[in-house]
Structure 1
Amino acid sequence: MIIGTVVNASGLAQARLMAGSVKRQMPDAKVLVCLVEESPVGPLPDIDWIFTARQISGYIGFHDFDRYIFKFNSLQCGAAMKGQLLTYLLEAFPAEEHIVYLDPEMYVFKPFDEIEHMLSYYDVVLTPHHLEPSDAWDCTREIGTLQDGTFHSGLVAVKNSWEGRNFADWWMKIIAGDFGGQPNGIFTDQPYLNFAPAFFNTGILRHPGYNLAFWNLHENGRQLFRAGDEYCLTNHTPLRCANFSNFLGLLDSCIDTYTPHDGTYRQMWNEYQQNWAWLSLQHPALPWSYDYFYSGEKIADETKLRYRAAKIDHLVEANPFTLSNHSDF
């Protein structure tokens, strides 16, 4: 099994935490990091390979990298490169039967036995954001999930098969954003996964121990407790992996809302933050390479939006990084 992730330089600390957890639970797994920066970095513990996004794009024949990445901001770069990374892993490692994409915020607590089993029958395995419906009078979560996508793109498993490669190629192309009607926001890759069960031989992983995160802490089947040295969920279900995304402080808020009198999740989150803080000293937050024109001028968000719209309507021949915020597209 190869596990891949996408980060910019400021996310390397979390990528190392994820990679270390993988190696402890699945020593035979290999970890590859796609770094969305111009400059590469040297070898890092627990990470087998580090390639820049430009290198990966070039390998799969996607040579218009500058025009592609210019449209996205630093938060969107991970969503932009997931399909490309999966395509690369399936092509570059033909002997590897199972490929898994994991967000860098993921932390692995147990081997992915269920994923390995499901990939014996399916070519793609997805995990839903929610496993339990809301009360009939409150459908706000369902409405929000329709906008962000039913399945979470932070864990996508693919078999190295004809069908699996077709899925990766389809996902890579459809999230490129070169057409009208592209979803807005940060999670522009997720809504398209709604179609995967209809288009491809896709299995839905309903094991509650995968993808424990702020968006499903309210579910009855995901109550967390500690059994000895291990974390378990309701009915002694083993916790396989947790997503420690704290986007807009939502993890802190949901812990306070749904587990205010139970310190288990807070303890787990605090332990993660302590390790993250220690590694962040070695990988401090840095400006993103692709947030600047070659002149050093900061690219305005409005400029990225104008360029994206112009690229849909007509071909923009110049390398956008050679231009400025005052350029006409």
Structure 2
Amino acid sequence: MIIGTVVNASGLPHARLLANSVKRQMPSAKVLVCLVEEKPVESLPDVDWIFTAREISAYLGLYDFDSYIFKFNSLQCGTAMKGRLLTYLLEAFPGEEHIVYLDPEMYVFTPLNEIGHMLSYYDVALTPHHLEPSDAWDSSREIGTLQDGTFHSGLVAVKNSDEGRHFAKWWMKIIAGDFSGLPGGIFTDQPYLNFVPAFFNAGVLRHPGYSLAFWNLHENGRKVFRSWDEYCLTNHTPLRCANFSNFLGLLDSRIDACVPHDGAFRQLWSDYKHNLEWLYLQHPPLSWSYDYFYSGEKIADETKLRYREARVYRSFQGNPFTLSNHSDF
């Protein structure tokens, strides 16, 4: 099994924690980091390979990298490269049967056994954001999930088969967004996964121990407990992996709302933050390479939106990083 993830330089501490957790629980698994920066970095502990997003794109024969990455901001570097990374891993490692994409904020607590089992029957495995419906009087979570996507794009597993490669290429193409009517929001790769069970031989992994995160901490089946030296969920279900994304402080707020003061998940989050702080001393946050024109001018969000629209209508050709915020597209 190969585990792949995507980060910019500021996300390297997350990637190192992910890689360490994978190696401790699944020593035979390989970890590859796609770095969305112009300059490469030196090797990292527990990481088997590090390639830049440009190198991965070139391997796939996609030499449009500058015009492609310009459309995305630093928060979307993972969104931009998930499809390309999966396609690359399936092609570059033909002898590897199972490929798994994990967000860098993921942390593995026990071996991901169910993924391998599911990929013996299906070519794609997805995890839903929610496994329990909301109360009858409140459908706000369902409505929000319809907008953001039913399945979590932070964990996507693919078999190295014709069907698996077909899925990865489809997702790679549709994420590019060179068409009108794009989904709103920041993480625009995710809503497209709604189609995957209809388009491909895909299975839905309903194990509550996968993708525990701020959006499902309220569910009755996902209460975290300490059992001897391991963490488990309701009914002694093993905790496989958690997503420690604290986007906009949402994890902190959901912990305060859903987790008792002596709850086990608070300890998990505290330990994770402590380790992350130590790694930030080694990898302090940096400016993103692709947030600036070659002139050094910061690229405005409005400029990226104008350029994305120009790409839809093919009204601009060339390298956008040579321009400025005042350029016409």
CA deviation profile, 1:285-324 (whole Å, cap 9, x unmatched):
0000000000000000000001001111124112100000
**Per the alignment, in what secondary structure is the counterpart of residue 231 of structure 2?**
strand
C-alpha distance in 2 between matches for 1:260 and 1:178: 46
Residue in structure 2 matched with residue 231 of structure 1 by the alignment: 231
Contact 2:197–2:203 (CA under 8 A) maintained in structure 1: yes
How far did residue 260 of structure 1 move? 3.3
C-alpha distance in 1 between matches for 2:23 and 2:189: 27
Residue in structure 2 matched with residue 17 of structure 1 by the alignment: 17
Residue in structure 2 matched with residue 5 of structure 1 by the alignment: 5
Residue in structure 2 matched with residue 212 of structure 1 by the alignment: 212
RMSD of aligned residue pairs (Cα, Å): 0.7
Q: Does 1:114 align with 2:114?
A: yes
C-alpha distance in 1 between matches for 2:313 and 2:200: 31
Q: Does 1:128 align with 2:128?
A: yes
C-alpha distance in 2 between matches for 1:318 and 1:213: 41
Structure 1 unmatched runs, 5+: none
C-alpha distance in 1 between matches for 2:21 and 2:140: 34
State the one-letter code of the partner of 2:49: W
Q: Which runs of 4+ in 1 moved over 2 A?
A: 260-263
Residue in structure 1 matched with residue 307 of structure 2 by the alignment: 307
C-alpha distance in 1 between matches for 2:310 and 2:214: 37
C-alpha distance in 2 between matches for 1:34 and 1:4: 7
**Per the alignment, in what secondary structure is the counterpart of residue 74 of structure 2?**
coil
Contact 2:70–2:321 (CA under 8 A) maintained in structure 1: yes
**Per the alignment, in what secondary structure is the counterpart of residue 61 of structure 1?**
coil
C-alpha distance in 2 between matches for 1:202 and 1:306: 36
C-alpha distance in 2 between matches for 1:108 and 1:196: 25
State the one-letter code of the partner of 1:5: T
Structure 2 unmatched runs, 5+: none
C-alpha distance in 2 between matches for 1:296 and 1:199: 43
**Per the alignment, in what secondary structure is the counterpart of residue 296 of structure 2?**
coil
**Per the alignment, in what secondary structure is the counterpart of residue 281 of structure 1?**
helix
**Per the alignment, in what secondary structure is the counterpart of residue 4 of structure 1?**
strand
Q: Does 1:93 align with 2:77?
A: no
Q: What TM-score do the two structures reach when normalised by structure 2?
A: 0.99
How far did residue 279 of structure 1 move? 0.6
C-alpha distance in 2 between matches for 1:184 and 1:71: 14
How far did residue 195 of structure 1 move? 0.2
Contact 2:225–2:263 (CA under 8 A) maintained in structure 1: no
Aligned length: 329
C-alpha distance in 1 between matches for 2:99 and 2:175: 19
**Per the alignment, in what secondary structure is the counterpart of residue 215 of structure 2?**
helix
Contact 2:224–2:263 (CA under 8 A) maintained in structure 1: no
Aligned positions of 1:94-173 closer than 5 A: 94-173=94-173
Q: Does 1:59 align with 2:92?
A: no
